[in-house]
Structure 1
């Protein structure tokens, strides 16, 4: 009955998420349903397991969600994100439309812009390029997913996305952990993903399929729109990346003297260093993005025919409010999924699974990759699944890896890359949102998104084998 309860709760959560119902509401309902079927008391399970784990997640990662969402919104409303998208897609043109869209998404994501903002910013330009090149529109979601949801999200060292920050709290590493493995793995994902997309494009075109007609949510690209300078728009992204590196390795490790830090009992500098560094780096990026916006706003003021001075819309309060509200929805969705997963992980049936994974006569890297992929698939969330796996088994993986001579940095990188594998199953919130933005359905486009997901998942064991064979452990 315990195992049945797990699968029933998971199936119901996938169903309601697929149908567009709020995960925040239904995750605790189905978690408690699974608990009842496993014989757990309802109210203690809710307050002492679900709510405690959800609150712990919010406590640790809220600054990253908040500042990341605000940074993305400022980049979007200032026109900087559209400037970068227009510049890169215009450089490559229609003949390399797929490559142009992937690189545009990669630059924005690696620079710290949230995945959802990237999808909104890039889609209009992707649609225009694909239409001009007569490439089937149904390939756009997978193309955006490859650039935004894969190698720049968790593989490349230093990426400021939350999936690369979470392991720092468990393994006391930095966001630049295992740079060689991360870079090689990221390049493999990018190359195989591009190969798949170009192969699919050629086959569809050969069969006579073009961009198509009568699509929904077709965007209008304003070609005459004045946007901030392309190179200037890149500066906030570079500030986030370089600021994160400098704060991590040069500034914060010696910023506070030990006499100050010892006042906070339980504070582990190595555990919070990655979060502190990215928090300050995002603040720097936000301030400069607002500066760009002010320059653009002042420069483009003009006097209308009625004699009244007019300017592009500049409403910083509205932008900051929208970014803040967006971060609340994002973190509460994920925290609710984390609470759901932790209720599942507290059941006897899950303990059997975790004991099996930890008792595998293999490398801790393989066990870690499997457990994170399973939980990311269950929750439909890369960060949620990884948090649950590391919360329940992270200390044991670290102990196992230390005894096997494997560095915590490699554990970090494999954990991050594994989280971005099977998380993009049909009930994943980012997938549902991406399809809605593009005006397409699961039936039309999910097959290619799943192919990118499989590629991402298969690259992880390749990198584990490479690390073990070359001694990069």
Structure 2
């Protein structure tokens, strides 16, 4: 049994190492998967064509519209200058005395409005740099500040967020994006307060020793203070449209659940329970309309670069979803190997409560893969039905499973090899040595918050 467990651990270790070194997950995931299969005495080609590929393809089928529409919406908001307009207005309104808060809130508004994390980092960085320089706050604190606003509570904690980490659990638990709203709001507030206290503490420490913004930095943005950008109120309309329509299509009489006859869905499209897909439908509709609104409001600004922008957005969406789908294929092959039963028992035995066990599993896999969506997808593909059965036996709402899983995915995922972290540091022209400490503290804060919520809920359920 040792060799079977070692095969899985080795495959995970190689996946981390090679991803960290920049090798494409689309290629390395099947390679390390098949290495584990060989070491475990499994059948090579059947494992690849009949397990890895079907699960990867099913993930693409389920989530590609979300990845694509999210990327297109974000790109349109970026090309039009609407995202930059929102960021600049919030930063300038709060002013240099509240520079950190201004950047955090700017990131939060954009992320919660449906703009992808990468677009948010690009849009906010120029204004963050300007206001940090004006306030003489060390530039090295910018990545941690952006991470708090974009990579935490608005990514997966606050109910209704249209980010993929909040969408994935809906397909496994039959929930919607507003699952367990009170738990999400409490957790989000805890993360926001804790993160702000840490960043302000770091700012005061720098002030005490006379450390300012610093000199000789790379990737310094041009002074765009007087850059022509769309009106703030017009810029925020598409975000409001996405948020409002997503709620209307999810939780009102106009819900997508009521758009089609249940009998036709079952007999013609093999959809036995529309609740397992209605959250995706509602977000597809909301993002589509939001994107059209963003285009119409800014048609003069984007018409000359629309074709190239859509091409770039599509390429980004394809890369993102196939990376994650490869990780899902990896996880589903691993679960068929003899050694996985021992690992699975260890995870389940971490706690008798499915919320705690789920938090452990998602955090570990998100950390291993360096991907919140990848780790979350692997765990729910492999053990989602077991967690749901455990929760039903204990009278625990699937909504709580959704919220804990979603929040846990955004915990240890931001280890040094995480793609978003690497991209954020590249955008700001900083290194892990300079800025990762603050990102890591926020990562720990997020992880601790999830376990506090999970343990607290386990005491009362």
Deviation at 1:149, TM superposition (A): 0.7
User: Where in structure 2 are the equivalents of 1:143-182 lying within 5 Å?
Assistant: 143-182=145-184
Q: TM-score, with normalisation over the residues of structure 2?
A: 0.95
CA displacement, residues 160-186 of structure 1 (integer Å, 9 cap, x when unaligned): 001001111111011000010000100
- Between 1:272-281 and 1:397-406, the stretch displaced more is 397-406
RMSD between aligned residues: 1.6
Q: Of 373, 376, 379, which aligns to 2:369?
A: 379
Q: Of 364, 376, 390, which aligns to 1:400?
A: 390
Conserved? CA contact 1:381–1:428, under 8 Å: yes
Taking the aligned partners of 2:61 and 2:457, their CA distance within structure 1 comes to 34
| Number of the residue aligned with 1:430 | 420
The 3 A distance-change label for structure 1 pair 314 and 223 is farther
5+ residue gaps, structure 2: none
Deviation at 1:432, TM superposition (A): 1.1
- Between 1:103-112 and 1:333-342, the stretch displaced more is 333-342
Conserved? CA contact 1:116–1:430, under 8 Å: yes
Conserved? CA contact 1:354–1:371, under 8 Å: no
CA displacement, residues 398-439 of structure 1 (integer Å, 9 cap, x when unaligned): 111111111111111011011111111111111111111111
CA displacement, residues 338-382 of structure 1 (integer Å, 9 cap, x when unaligned): 222333333332321212333455311101111111111121111
1:331 aligns with 2:321: yes
| Number of the residue aligned with 1:32 | 34
CA displacement, residues 71-127 of structure 1 (integer Å, 9 cap, x when unaligned): 000000011000001000111112111111110010000000001110111111111
| Number of the residue aligned with 1:389 | 379
| Number of the residue aligned with 2:230 | 228
SS of 1:57's partner is: helix
Taking the aligned partners of 1:334 and 1:360, their CA distance within structure 2 comes to 26
Q: Of 119, 125, 128, which aligns to 1:126?
A: 128
Conserved? CA contact 1:18–1:432, under 8 Å: no
The 3 A distance-change label for structure 1 pair 436 and 353 is same
1:95 aligns with 2:97: yes
- Between 1:147-156 and 1:349-358, the stretch displaced more is 349-358
SS of 1:190's partner is: helix
Conserved? CA contact 1:125–1:221, under 8 Å: no
1:445 aligns with 2:447: no
Taking the aligned partners of 1:378 and 1:40, their CA distance within structure 2 comes to 23
SS of 2:216's partner is: coil
5+ residue gaps, structure 1: 298-311
CA displacement, residues 194-218 of structure 1 (integer Å, 9 cap, x when unaligned): 1111111211232332222111111
1:190 aligns with 2:195: no
SS of 1:348's partner is: coil
Taking the aligned partners of 2:155 and 2:105, their CA distance within structure 1 comes to 13
- Between 1:26-35 and 1:89-98, the stretch displaced more is 26-35
1:279 aligns with 2:284: yes
Count of equivalent residues: 456
| Number of the residue aligned with 1:348 | 338
| Number of the residue aligned with 1:306 | none
